[in-house]
Chains A and B, each alone.
Chain A
Amino acid sequence: MVLDIGAQAPDFTLTDHEGSKVTLSQIKEPVVMIFYPADWSPVCSDELSVFSAAQRLFEARGAQLLGVSVDGKWCHQAFHSQRNLAFPLLADFEPKGAVARSFGVYREDDGMTERALFVIGATKRVRWRQVFPIGENPGADEALREVEALS
């Protein structure tokens, strides 16, 4: 089951593309979690580039973006650098997909995460979330609107 609106987001610590640990509960600001199936896949690349370009709009509203997939740190590092992304990519790699499972967006059949967006408020409750068809690139409009609705 996908984590519901109003639920407390399960805390996690994951390694980002630079090898730093990122812990959800230590982030004071609202967070937009961008779960995507895989580094390098065409739809994901476009999706993340759009969010990266939009990062300044989210930042201006006090929200932080985090990308999450089951790819490992080295893969994330290469992908992050090739796309010159403006936000960290977290490796949900070991145990594989544990965070995606805790948010209810792990795909058992192919071992990837769903394409899903979560807007998490400063108190770490889920304020909005949406799972998109795997081939659909969602754009950033709804997440931005939901972040604006927080304040």
Chain B
Amino acid sequence: MADLRCTIGGIRSPNPFWLASAPPTDKEYNVRRALEAGWGGVVWKTLGEDPPVVNVSSRYGAVSYNGQRMAGLNNIELITDRPLATNLAEIKRVKRDFPDRAMVVSLMVPCVEASWKAILPLVEQTGCDGIELNFGCPHGMSERNMGAAVGQVPDYVEMVTRWCKQNTRMPVIVKLTPNITNILMPARAALAGGADAVSLINTVQSVTGVDLDAMTPLPAVDGQGTHGGYCGPAVKPIALRMLGDIARDPVMRGLPISGMGGVSGWRDAAEFIAMGASGVQVCTAAMHHGFRIVTEMIDGLSHWMDGKGHASLESFRGLANRNYVQWGELNINFKTIAKIDPSLCIGCGKCYIACEDTSHQSIAKLPGRVYEVIDAECVGCNLCAHVCPVDDCITMVPQAATGPKLTWGEHPNNPHRSAAETVS
């Protein structure tokens, strides 16, 4: 049985599945239920200064796609709306009763050192394992110069991280906002400020839809809407990319990453870890299915690791990141060609029309709804395989190499190729 234990910035947990700082971790009742269900840790919903913030109703917008509910979820809820003392007392009780689980406390106070100096000792007294700096919340708090308003300015990220490191012995995780052009800037700033780990991604600024009867952007509050933070399965590709960028960055190398953004099952978790994360955080999946979903995640990851011979998370962590390169490093001489298995084809014609209308006209339609790839025309783009509703009916077959690996940097068509590369 695979060992699922995980350590991030010195914080240990029995498995890599933490609940992210969000509505499910707002209070003792929920968190106890989560830990009893088997979650490896929680990041307690963000604490702020008293008096607490006030939330609105409603708070969520969701995107259904082809009948799949919550393919994406958007929220406009703010940080905890309960008094600081209440939260601190609850955190202390829960940590005492679940000593083996990771208890991380998310924090967001105004961008002045005094505010951070004041809250850190209070949090430390709970016995929690670490703190996570909420530099990502994209709505409400950012308008008050907190959350993403800090996370989008690398200098502030570094400054606040440093204040925290100077004023507490607890490990500091810096949570990054994806609402920025280059994720490496705040990530490197966190590192410079002394962060023990970074976590990403926070939610993506979004409007989930428009009520066409009321003409209200969604989610709606009394006939008006505002942008919120988008999460759930829809944002996973964005998260994987940003996580991959940080994990492969030579400057960031070695800084632990807590990955999140659309982790819905064990496979997502394995992908995040393969891309360089040390553990993952989950929210939408728990909000969609309840806390017991973690048992499926643990079981699935464990079986997959056993099947692959991975004894621990470290045995496969970052393996995919090694193959995550810049476009310019890809081999232009590599070619695949689509192959349609006629025995599996159901004759829907989706591959044909996709290729005919929007790609390279490399699928022939023969009498009797028989579809055949025209090898000479196929560029190996994959579109047909993606639109085909039958598993394994269309496969991409690698072709015999026509020459050694050739990158754009070396390509004759590249006006900027270096002389050295041309020679090689």
Whether A associates with B in a native complex is no
